[in-house]
């Protein structure tokens, strides 16, 4: 008999759906050892954030076909281990979209009309009408940072309320933005122009403390900012100081770098202009039911032999094929992440060229892996192998697949990704060597031979004496250690590219100095 284990509290609607096709056992609060001792009896596992599904658990789950996470994040699931065992992992990336968007709007309105402070004043016996005179959202400029599903919904509602909406999202095409009646701009201009700002981006190394003291100082003194996305995007000490000193008018925060919020957090001392909520973005009855229903339906479908709609790992491939394609998928994803950062996210078209032996591999997973890498900087954990194509389509990114059987540049073939957009494009080529090692072999048609590393710096420069030494000395002065360096050129004293593998990321101030070096045309730090 088909059996499903539910190891975290799940809305009854999800339990009812699972009961249509399987015996459902609800056993919450299991220890790691208890979970390992029983998981071998189950065909499916449904969890929320409490259960840790480690490689050890997956190893003994002989019957397990699918793990369903009722929510977005799958940090508590060892997805590579599940994929290796041929176990499908699914989540509910859209179940809390409306809830999160509405909470952002609620914070915007609360900030404008001082609702929490006025309520507290009333409870204390006061009647301070003059003290809590507010502002209207009508005809104000709303800056949306990140136009994914949540950010797009906020923008749509804000437009209906009469707001002018501007946005920063380098992964949204101009055509798509025009359809949404949203004007795209740079992050810096958005912070300067907006009366209200709402953040809808993942927490990544690039976005951590993105909203810092320097950026806050560029805002209007009457402007307010809301974060219902991820903690750590906003420098909390800086925003507390900015409100207290009058640099900005206020902020609404639902997420924090450390949760629960520390008792001694400077945010707790801000008396006016700040609204805090304890991570309530997805905390609606409807959202909890939605994620439970969504994931339960996917588990039911998979148990009936049907495809899942929100798989986090690659669906429909056996463990054998997964193992064979593993380095090629890793290469595709790495090149996608690389070319997106070289392009600054300004991508309207992605060409995926499978050359030589690469053309003989199944192309769809390779294309999807490339798209996943391309969109990772924008979407973080929300992007996966199933929704990558849909997300690309929703952002107006056209995908062109080319197979070139005749190309024999490497024995195992190669993969080339080319981006095109309003500001030009970039191309990168990579190969998988016989030992499974990944190599970047060209950048913008310049020949290189570089293994990908976590922190890299790419430059395009004039091939002239002294420029390499100048850059090396500059990095040394800023205590940035160079692990390896390679230069590629086509003609002597023409243009060239330089690839540096470095031990630490490049600080923004140092990057500006690098771009100011005579002969440097472009400089792009990359984090893989």
Q: Are 314 and 322 in contact (CB under 8 A)?
A: yes
pLDDT value at residue 496? 87
Please check whether residues 132 and 230 belong to one and the same domain: yes
Single out the catalytic residue among 34, 136, 188, 259.
259
pLDDT value at residue 321? 62
Highest mean pLDDT among 141-145, 149-153, 258-262, 490-494: 141-145
Please check whether residues 222 and 200 belong to one and the same domain: yes
Please check whether residues 414 and 339 belong to one and the same domain: yes
The verdict on whether 279 is a catalytic residue reads: yes
Q: Comparing 305-319, 355-369, 498-512, which segment has the lowest mean pLDDT? A: 305-319
CATH number at residue 379: 3.30.1330.90
The residue among 452, 470, 500 that closes a domain is 452
CATH number at residue 63: 3.40.50.720
Strand partners, 447: 442
Query: Going by DSSP bridges, is the β-strand pair 196-199/224-227 parallel, antiparallel, or unpaired?
Result: parallel
Who has greater pLDDT, 15 or 71?
15
Who has greater pLDDT, 209 or 522?
209
Who has greater pLDDT, 358 or 113?
113
The verdict on whether 259 is a catalytic residue reads: yes
Who has greater pLDDT, 483 or 85?
483
Answer whether residue 240 is part of any domain. yes
Q: Are 354 and 332 in contact (CB under 8 A)?
A: no
> Which position has the token pair 């078209």?
349
pLDDT value at residue 322? 61
pLDDT value at residue 332? 94
Please check whether residues 113 and 197 belong to one and the same domain: yes
Strand order in the sheet with 274-276: 183-184, 164-168, 141-145, 196-199, 224-227, 250-253, 274-276
Please check whether residues 126 and 257 belong to one and the same domain: yes
Answer whether residue 118 is part of any domain. yes
Please check whether residues 238 and 332 belong to one and the same domain: no
Answer whether residue 417 is part of any domain. yes
Highest mean pLDDT among 77-86, 153-162, 435-444: 153-162
Please check whether residues 433 and 484 belong to one and the same domain: no
pLDDT value at residue 56? 95
The residue among 403, 421, 452 that closes a domain is 452
**What's the domain range around 404?**
317-452
Please check whether residues 237 and 298 belong to one and the same domain: no
User: What distance in Å separates the CA atoms of residue 264 and residue 105, rounded to the nearest whole number?
Assistant: 28
Which pLDDT band, with edges at 50, 70 and 90, does 180 fall under? Answer: very high
Please check whether residues 141 and 215 belong to one and the same domain: yes
pLDDT, one tens digit per residue, over 464-475 is: 888 888 888 888
DSSP reduced 3-state for 58: helix
pLDDT at 363 over 90: no
Answer whether residue 282 is part of any domain. no
- Average confidence (pLDDT) over 420-427: 84
Single out the catalytic residue among 230, 420, 426, 460.
230
CA angle 456, 337, 458 (to 5 degrees): 30
Q: Are 71 and 97 in contact (CB under 8 A)?
A: no
Answer whether residue 115 is part of any domain. yes
CATH number at residue 464: 3.30.70.260
The residue among 251, 276, 301 that closes a domain is 276
Rounded to the nearest integer, the mean pLDDT of the chain is: 90
Who has greater pLDDT, 377 or 332?
332
Answer whether residue 373 is part of any domain. yes
Please check whether residues 81 and 215 belong to one and the same domain: no
Which pLDDT band, with edges at 50, 70 and 90, does 386 fall under? Answer: low
Answer whether residue 281 is part of any domain. no
Please check whether residues 528 and 434 belong to one and the same domain: no
pTM for this entry: 0.76
How many distinct structural domains can be found in the chain? 4
Answer whether residue 49 is part of any domain. yes
Please check whether residues 121 and 262 belong to one and the same domain: yes
Three-state SS for 109-151 is HHHHHCHHHHHHHHHCCCCCCCCCCCCCCCCCEEEEECCCHHH
Single out the catalytic residue among 279, 324, 470, 489.
279
Strand partners, 145: 168, 199
């Amino acid at each position: 008999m088909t059996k499903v284990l539910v190891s975290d509290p799940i809305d009854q609607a999800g339990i009812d759906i699972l009961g249509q096709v399987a015996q459902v056992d609800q056993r919450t609060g299991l220890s790691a050892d208890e979970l390992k001792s029983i998981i071998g009896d189950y065909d499916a596992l449904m969890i929320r954030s409490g259960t840790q599904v480690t490689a050890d658990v997956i190893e003994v789950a002989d019957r397990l076909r699918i793990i369903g996470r009722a929510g977005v994040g799958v940090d508590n699931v060892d997805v590579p281990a599940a994929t290796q065992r041929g176990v499908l992992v699914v989540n509910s990336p859209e179940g809390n979209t409306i809830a999160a968007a509405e909470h952002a709007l609620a914070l915007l309105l609360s900030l404008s009309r001082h609702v929490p402070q006025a309520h507290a004043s009333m409870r204390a016996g006061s009647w301070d009408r003059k003290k809590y005179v507010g502002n209207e959202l009508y005809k104000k400029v709303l800056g949306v940072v990140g136009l994914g599903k949540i950010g797009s919904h906020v923008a749509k509602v804000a437009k209906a309320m009469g707001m002018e909406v501007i946005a920063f999202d380098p992964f949204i095409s101009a055509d798509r933005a025009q359809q949404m009646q949203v004007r795209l701009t740079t992050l810096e201009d958005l912070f300067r122009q907006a009366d209200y700002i709402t953040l809808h981006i993942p927490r990544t190394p690039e976005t951590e403390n993105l909203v810092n003291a320097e950026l806050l100082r560029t805002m209007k003194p009457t402007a307010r900012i809301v974060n219902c996305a991820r903690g750590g995007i906003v420098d909390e000490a800086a925003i507390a100081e900015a409100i207290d000193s009058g640099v900005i008018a206020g902020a609404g925060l639902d997420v924090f770098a450390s949760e629960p919020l520390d008792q001694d957090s400077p945010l707790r001392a801000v008396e006016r202009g700040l609204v805090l909520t304890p991570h309530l973005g997805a905390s609606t009855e409807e959202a909890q039911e939605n994620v439970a229903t969504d994931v339960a339906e996917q588990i039911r479908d998979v148990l009936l032999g049907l495809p899942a709609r929100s798989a986090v790992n690659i669906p429909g491939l056996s463990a054998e094929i997964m193992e064979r394609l593993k380095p090629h998928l890793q290469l595709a994803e790495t090149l996608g992440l690389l070319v997106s950062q070289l392009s600054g996210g300004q991508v309207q078209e992605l060409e995926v060229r499978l050359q030589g032996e690469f053309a003989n591999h199944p192309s769809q997973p390779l294309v999807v892996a490339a798209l996943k890498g391309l969109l990772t900087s924008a979407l973080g954990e929300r992007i996966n192998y199933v929704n990558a194509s849909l997300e690309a389509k929703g952002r107006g990114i056209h995908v062109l697949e080319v197979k070139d059987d005749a190309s024999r540049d490497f024995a195992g073939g190669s993969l080339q990704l080319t981006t095109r957009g309003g500001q030009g494009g970039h191309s990168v080529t990579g190969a998988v060597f016989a030992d499974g090692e990944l190599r970047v072999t060209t950048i913008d048609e310049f020949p290189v031979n570089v293994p990908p590393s976590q922190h890299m710096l790419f430059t395009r420069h004039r091939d002239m004496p002294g420029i390499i030494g100048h850059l090396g000395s500059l990095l040394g002065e800023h205590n940035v250690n160079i692990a390896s360096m390679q230069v590629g050129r086509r003609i002597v004293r023409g243009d060239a590219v330089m690839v540096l593998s470095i031990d630490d990321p490049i600080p923004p101030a140092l990057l500006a100095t690098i771009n100011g070096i005579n002969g440097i045309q472009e400089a792009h730090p990359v984090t893989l």
